[in-house]
Amino acid sequence: MGLAIPLRGGTYHGTNGARLPMEFLLAVTAAAEPGSASARMAAEQTRGIAGDPQSGSVLEALLTKPFRAEAPG
């Protein structure tokens, strides 16, 4: 089953089996704006690699910038 991320002017269709490199996710997250497609994509990818020792770095980056408003206080 794939995932569909709504984008302006279309939809990104990814697959749950394909994972992006951790370094790429960190770079995307560092530049992602709140509510952006890149922030949602990074969050979805990170959800699938929760067992990876480096996933904490991406989660921290997501909660620091693009999902700051949703982060626990």
Examine residue 36 and state whether it is found in any structural domain, yes or no: yes
Predicted confidence at residue 22, as pLDDT, reads 84
The per-residue pLDDT for 6 is: 57
Task: Tell me if 11 is assigned to some domain.
Answer: no
> What pLDDT, on the 0 to 100 scale, is given for residue 1?
43
Q: Is residue 59 part of a domain?
A: yes
Residue 55 placed within a domain: yes
Is 13 inside a domain boundary? no
Instruction: Say if 9 falls within a structural domain.
Output: no
pLDDT at 70: 87
Residue 12: inside a domain, yes or no? Answer: no
Q: Total domain count for the chain?
A: 1
Residues 6+ away with beta carbon under 8 Å from 48: 16, 19
* Dist. CA 10–CA 71, nearest whole Å: 28
- Residue 3 belongs to a domain: no
- Specify the pLDDT at position 19: 74
Q: Walk along the chain (73 residues) in steps of 10 and give the mean pLDDT of each run.
A: 53 58 89 92 84 84 91 79
Start-to-end CA distance of the chain, whole Å, equals 34
For the question of whether the overall pTM of this predicted structure is more than 0.85, the answer is: no
